[in-house]
Structures are given as structure tokens and as C-alpha cells.
Structure 1
Amino acid sequence: MQFGIFTVGDVTTDPTTGVTPTEARRIQDTVAIARKAEEVGLDVFATGEHHNPPFVPSSPTTLLGHIAALTERIVLSTSTTLITTNDPVKIAEDFSVLQHLSGGRTDIILGRGNTGPVYPWFGQDIRQAMPLSVEHYTLLRRLWREEVVDWEGEFRGPLQGFTLAPRPLDGVPPFVWHGSIRTPGVAELAAYFGDGFFANHIFWPASHTQRMVELYRTRFEHYGHGSARRAIVGLGGQIFMRPNSQQAVDEFRPYFDNAPVYGHGPSLEDFSTLTPLTVGSPAQVVERTLGFREYVGDYQRQLFLIDHAGLPLQTVLEQLDLLGEEVVPVLRKEFAVGRPADVPPAPTHALLRERTLAEAGAGTGPDTGTRS
């Protein structure tokens, strides 16, 4: 199982000091956080994609390419790449380049995004969000898998004799997760192609996430990719830790109360009850996270949000120390207990390359899913 962190890249005033980082500082801090994540033994660093203030990650592959040069082991991903408003050709090119730069330490979480104005900014209609997702992703798969692509669709100009350059590293496209907080159609799309489904388990109650994952698993099996428990599932989560739980609550409260997304709304206690937000000791984070398996089954990836709402860099780095020293080692051990042998591991480039070579040897041709 993989453990890591994701960032939304917000530039938020620290409510305890009144200090607002510059955009340059926030970007450099994100790089430092990614490097620290590798240092403490995490498996994945992921960044979101936003094109509006107060966020800075408008070019995720640029950021991840820089981080790739400064790291050696950690998998570099997006927590959302906007499949709706990005050109599939450009996504294919950018992530192929990132694969080569990182030595295969690259995968991608595709999503629709949650900022309505981004659609007209990039010439699209939000009312076509799911049709855009389906058409763009169908083309993206072909670009990564076919040497020459002739294509015509509804939402972009046709392609004639197009060849992607560079081709995916080792002939293996990046593994694709389809990410969503609330949209069943995204789970259906992931299931149809036999891709991963990332339920960003941060704002909604456990019952909602349970329904989304159950839908994905059921449809994954329906489409012939194997049993439901062989489906590839990832979860998001939010945490804040201190050695003492009351210390964690007291320190995090002003950040929660003033956060751009949920500030000035439910109390910290109510939000922590209604959603997976966990503010407390490392032991409490371990206990809450282990409980996710009770309603989503055995899964492959857990990412935590730890650097938002104006938290200073030093505090985030301290969170990473606690994750690496007191949380993730316990989670690795406990999640392995009772895990069925037929539940697959988290996909990596090395595993996908082995599968591609095996399929080529069997004469079935390379693929990382079963739909073309």
C-alpha cells in the first residue's frame, strides 16, 4: 500500500500571525514539502491543478518536473489534472516527458475540477463536463497506446496521422486514477476502463465515500476486469497532529476557523465528526485511518492533505516527521494484516512494465487496462 501527501497549493494568510506568503514563497515551500516527504519515507507526492487565486499550481507538470530532479524515489502525481479543460494531446505530451525525467516515477489523477469559471477560461462549457471527460480521456488513452492516431470528436479539432513525441517510457503509459469527491460518472468511467478510482475523502461523510467506492468496485467487476476487490482504490484525507490531542485541536482551530474552503462554517468538532478530518495525536490518526478499510475494503493508496489553510512551512514539516516516524510505519503494518492475497498492490511503473512485457510475450500487445 502507498502512503503520501497531496497539496492544493493555496496561498492563505496565517491567521495567527497575519503573514501571507508570496506566490514565489508558496511554490518554493511546496518543493521543500515534497523533498521532505521523500526524506521521511512516504511513497507519493501529488499536486492539484488550479487556475485562479489564491492557488499557485497552474502548471503541475512543471512543478513535478522540478521536484523529479531533486528526488530519487518518491512517486510524483497530480491530485487533479483537469481532463475537461486541458487538451488531451498536451496532457499526453507533458506526462510522457515527466515520465522520462522522473525515470517512471509518474502517475496521474484525472478529474473534472471544482471551479466553474475554469471552463469558459479554456473555451469549454461546464454543462458538458462528463461528455468532455469521456471524449478527452478516450483520446488520451489512444495517444499513449497507438503509434499513429486518426481521430475526430465533438469538442476539439480532428487529428490526422498524429504521433505522440516522446512516446511513453518503456512503452508504458502512466497509470491513471480517476478522482472525484461527489460524481458517480467518474467512478463509472474508471470502472469501464479498468483504471484506478481515487475518492477524495475530505468533505463528505463516510457513507457517501462508501457508496462511491462500492459503485466503482461493482462496475469494475461488471466490465470484466476481475473481482470487485481487485479494483484499484485510493483515498484522500485531512489530518493535523501534535503529540497531545488537545494541543493539536488548540493549535489547528484558528486555521480551520479561517480556512477559505470551510472556515466560518461548521465547528471543528462538528466537521471532524461529519467528515474524515482528524485533528489529534498520531495514535488517533492511525485509528481513524485504519477505520477507512471497514467501509471501502482493502485499498492501494492513502494521501493526506497537511499543508493548507495558511499553516507555516515549519509546522507542515513537523507533520511530515510525525507521519514518517509514528503514523505510516504503523499503518503499513496494520493494513497488511488480513489483506487477501488476490488484492493487487498499488500500480507502479515497474509493475506495469512487467505486465506489458508479459502481454507482449503472450501476443496480446501492451496495455495497462482492458479497454482500447
Structure 2
Amino acid sequence: MQLGIFSVGDVTPDPTNGRTPTEAERIKAMVAIALKAEEVGLDVFATGEHHNPPFVPSSPTTLLGFIAARTKRLELSTATTLITTSDPVKIAEDFAMLQHLADGRVDLMLGRGNTGPVYPWFGQDIRNGIPLAVENYALLRRLWREDVVDWEGRFRTPLQSFTSTPRPLDDVPPFVWHASIRSPEIAEQAAYYGDGFFHNNIFWNKEHVQRMVELYRARFEHYGHGPADQAIVGLGGQVFMRKNSQDAIAEFRPYFDNAPVYGHGPSLEDFTDLTALTVGSPQQVIEKTLSFREMAGDYQRQLFLMDHAGLPLKTVLEQLDILGEEVVPVLRREFAALKPAGVPDAPTHASLLAAAASETKTEEVVA
């Protein structure tokens, strides 16, 4: 089980004092959070991609490249890379470059985004969201796996004898997670290619999450990639912790009530009851996170949102200390004890490279 954090990079006023960080402060805070994640023993840091206020991470690979230079072990990912409005050629080049700089500590999560105006800003139509995701990813796969590509589709100019550079590190493309909250077509896409499926379940009830994950697992098996329990699944979550739950709830409530996404809606108590949000003690976070296995089966990656809604950097770093010291060690132990033999770990560059070498040897023996 990979355990990590993701940031959406929102620039939100602190509701307790009204102060809004500058963009520079927020960007540097994201770097500090990533460095802290490695320090406390987490596995993954992922950044969102947004092109509109109040968000700052418009260039994920720039941010991740800077973090790569200052870390040694942390897996660097996205949450999400916009496959609909970003050119597949640029995605192929940017992430291959990042692979080389980070010595392979790179994967990415593809998604369509949830901001309608972004589409026309990049010359696209939101009504083509699903077809764009399907076509652009088909091209991205070829760019990473074929040295010379001839291609023609609906949504971009044709390619003739095109080579994407640099080539993927060790000729092994980054692992891809397809992220969707509500679209079965994306679960189908992930299953078709045998890629990972990430459900960011911070806004949805467990019944919905279970249906989406079960669909992906069933179709993964249908396409011949292995039994359903070998499908690669990731989940989101959001936590806020203090030693006792009363203190956690009292401190987090103003941030929840004014959050740009879910603020001014259901109460904190209702939202916590219905979704993956956990506000309470470290033990409550452990218990609720372990319960995700009941709806998703044995899964490979758990990412927590820790820095949303105007929480000051000092508080976020305190939260990461609690996560690393009191929560993650227990989750590692419990998830490992529960995982049946045969359920794979989350793919890494090393494991993908080993699998490619094994496949090559098998082909040589057959030949």
C-alpha cells in the first residue's frame, strides 16, 4: 500500500483571521509540504492541475521537477493531469523529461477536470470531454511506446513521422492512473488498458465509490489483464486530527464551513458521516481509512488531502507529523496483514522495468 498526500493548490483565505496567502507563499508551501511528506515517511506527493483562480498549480511538471531535485525517495504524481485540454504530445514530453530528472520516481493521474471554462481556454468543447479523454490517451500511449508515430484524429492536427523526445526512461513509460469521480467511461478506459483507476472519494458516499470500483475491477478482468482482485485501485481521503476528536472538530469547523468546494453545504457532521472526510483523533482516522477496504477491496494507493480550505502551513505540517508518526505505521501494518497473496503492490518504475525485462526474456525463450 502506498500512502501519500495530494494538494489541489487552492489559495483560500484563512477563515479564522481573514488572511490570504500570496501565490508565491502558496507555491512554496506546497514544496514545503512535499518535503515534509518525505521526512515523515510517506510514499507519494501529488499535485493537481488548474488554470483558474483560486488555484496555483498550472504547471505540475515544473513543480514536481523542483521537488524531485530536493527529495530522494518520494514518488511524484499528479491529481490530476488534464488529458482533455492538454496536448498529448506535451504530456508525453514533459513527463518523460521528469522521469529522467527524478530517476523514475514519477507516475501520473489523468482526468478531465471539473471546471467547464477551461475547455474553451484551450480550444476545446466540454461536450467532447469523454471523446477527448479517450482519443488523447490513445495517442499518448503510442507516443511513449513507438519511436516513430503517424497519427490522425478528431481533435488535433495529424502527426507524420513524429518522435517524442526524450524517450521514456529505460523505455518504460510512467504508470498511468485514470481518475474519475462519476464517469463509468473512464473506469472502462482504465480497465481496457490495464491501467490504474483512482476514485477521489472525498465527495461521494461509499455506495457510489463501491459501484465505480467494482465496475473497473470487473472490466479489468473482462479484458484479460488478470483476476478482478489484481486490478490497481487508488482512493482519496481528507483528514484533520488532534489528540481528541472534540478539539479536531472545533479547530477544523471554520475551515470546513468556508471551504471553496464543499463549504456552505451539508454540516461537518453529515459530510463526515457520508463521505471519506475524517475529523477526529488519529485512531478514528485509522479506523475509517481501514474501512475503505470494505468498499474498494484490497487497493494499492491511498492519498490524503491535508492542505485545503485555507489551513495555515504550520497547521498542515503539524498534521503531517501526526500522520507520519501515529497513523501511517498502523495503516501499513494493518493493510499488509489483510492483503491476500496475489494482490499486487502499486506499480513503480522499478517494478515496471522488471516486468518488461521478464517479458523480453519470455519472448526470447519462445522464439
What's the counterpart of residue 100 of structure 1?
100
Paired-residue identity, %:
76
1:14, 1:86 → 2: CA distance? Answer: 32
The letter for the 2-side match of 1:248 is: A
3-state SS of the aligned residue for 1:359?
A: helix
3-state SS of the aligned residue for 1:202?
A: helix
What's the counterpart of residue 198 of structure 1?
198
What's the counterpart of residue 314 of structure 1?
314
What's the counterpart of residue 16 of structure 1?
16
Query: Given the superposition, is the C-alpha separation of residues 338 and 264 from structure 1 closer, same or farther in structure 2, using an over 3 Å criterion?
Result: closer
What's the counterpart of residue 367 of structure 1?
none
What's the counterpart of residue 174 of structure 2?
174
Shift of 1:340: 1.1
2:248, 2:265 → 1: CA distance? Answer: 20
2:308, 2:276 → 1: CA distance? Answer: 16
Shift of 1:362: 2.1
Cα shift readout 1:324-370 (whole Å, capped 9, x = no counterpart) = 00000000000111311110011000000001111122228xxxxxx
What's the counterpart of residue 60 of structure 1?
60
1:179, 1:242 → 2: CA distance? Answer: 30
Cα shift readout 1:210-266 (whole Å, capped 9, x = no counterpart) = 000000000000000000000000000011001111000000000000111111111
Shift of 1:301: 0.2
Cα shift readout 1:287-341 (whole Å, capped 9, x = no counterpart) = 0000000111000000000101000000000010011000000000001113111
1:268, 1:322 → 2: CA distance? Answer: 21
What's the counterpart of residue 266 of structure 2?
266
What's the counterpart of residue 236 of structure 1?
236
What's the counterpart of residue 157 of structure 1?
157
What's the counterpart of residue 370 of structure 1?
none
Shift of 1:125: 0.8
What's the counterpart of residue 347 of structure 1?
347
Shift of 1:59: 0.4
Q: Which runs of 5+ in 2 are unaligned?
A: none
1:279, 1:39 → 2: CA distance? Answer: 23
3-state SS of the aligned residue for 2:33?
A: helix
1:171, 1:37 → 2: CA distance? Answer: 29
What's the counterpart of residue 333 of structure 1?
333
1:31 aligns with 2:23: no
What's the counterpart of residue 357 of structure 2?
357
What's the counterpart of residue 369 of structure 1?
none
Normalising by structure 1, what TM-score?
0.97
2:42, 2:50 → 1: CA distance? Answer: 24
1:17, 1:343 → 2: CA distance? Answer: 47
What's the counterpart of residue 118 of structure 1?
118
2:106, 2:223 → 1: CA distance? Answer: 26
3-state SS of the aligned residue for 2:269?
A: helix
The letter for the 2-side match of 1:179 is: A
2:237, 2:261 → 1: CA distance? Answer: 15
Deviation above 4 Å: which 4+ runs of structure 1? none
1:138, 1:72 → 2: CA distance? Answer: 32
Shift of 1:276: 1.0
1:228, 1:333 → 2: CA distance? Answer: 24
What's the counterpart of residue 292 of structure 2?
292
Cα shift readout 1:189-215 (whole Å, capped 9, x = no counterpart) = 000000000000100100000000000
Cα shift readout 1:143-201 (whole Å, capped 9, x = no counterpart) = 00001000000100000000111000011000000011111111000000000000001
The letter for the 2-side match of 1:216 is: Y
1:103, 1:337 → 2: CA distance? Answer: 31
3-state SS of the aligned residue for 1:354?
A: helix
2:238, 2:339 → 1: CA distance? Answer: 24
1:263, 1:229 → 2: CA distance? Answer: 36
Greater CA drift, 53-62 or 258-267: 258-267
